[in-house]
A and B are shown apart, each in its own frame.
Chain A
């Protein structure tokens, strides 16, 4: 590793590299999630095989799909507000890119280790709502409008439980910096019940918080059972109904790479992210290489939960969704915070 560190690149070179990395990472993660879960996992659940033709076991299907979307005609509805129509998917995509900025994949492998790590993520997550509203309104289509309005209500409502669930973790970790949260779970001195063997993954102490967070993510990603905005059997695609070609590809990629991003954040907050417990004695240098793989494994575990739930349950109606968020999730999250705060002070 030392020859690399001796390079000392200039700031602009580092920034360019990080930018390219972000551009590459987003479609790649979307592709991984889409292939593993959307094509193969759901197919096995449905007692079928899924795509098998493109590449070995259909692994290049996404390339084929991307190619298909890219070569389509650039259409917009006649009465649509063209400029907002064009910018909506870009807004959603930008929000997704921005989330990847703070996810750490190793001791130094983070695009920018912002001090306000998780706080920054929660703030950026609201940006995609704006994109969805733009898409729904500018489509000049009543189905799109219905979908967008449902999305607005739902996504805003479920951000609160997400924030409150994260707050429990933050109280326990003592920091909102992502690397700091990882270090608090798996670093030196992290122990649970006096046993340092598995570190202190917050999934054990913040189990309720984790459940709330997973539920809130499911809603933020508009996955069943919270997929009213895109309720396919009713409003046929919701806010995405008028989009084709490249713009639809942007929405598609944004959806799946957001899924990966949120799962990675859940892995970081609750399972310890890229780190393995300090007690295992793995040399610091090795984590530079192992870190991304560890993070990938933990992320796939959370993504499995998300997509398994997605393909099993029917969808909740909008008013039931809202009731669930306001009357169940938020009170439970508040109780969780109070309990965490008390226990933190006591212990």
Chain B
């Protein structure tokens, strides 16, 4: 769902979507500083902006966005594992098998989100400019196996703990981080829990009882049923 770089594509849509000048300006200014480093961007008008950065420009992007664009407020930094989970929703109760059927289905294709992406792991970070009132999500491809990106700690000191969390949860190495170690999990923990191929063990130790509606939808008088639903 990533749009191309020019805003013309948006205007040709069925609804007249206005051009978000503030955010277009942000993208333009970043492109001025980084040039080729900005790979793609995606704007949801009057809402938010996503910018994908080339991996070797990640640290330069940090300083540009902090000093040149004035986004001094650090939000967070984390990662996404775009590979679909081989266990899907761990549905293994009788109720759900009756709904889904029992045959194994093929894994869906790996797709990435706004502003695209080429590798399995993507590191993303959020910073905000609190004077001009905008925030931007910067994304960067980290790699398929053994993901690694540059560290942001030299620009935003707060990224220290966020990078440590990303390291332990996804296994993404941050080059130049002063001391990359576990933050939530005990040292010596094996595995990276938030990776999609790391199973959610509680679903294996105790089978999911199935989706059962315990309250009817608000505004209706329906009886609760055990169909697949919210």
On whether A and B touch (CB less than 8 Å), the answer reads no
Q: List the interface of chain A (C-beta within 8 A of B).
A: none
Q: List the interface of chain B (C-beta within 8 A of A).
A: none
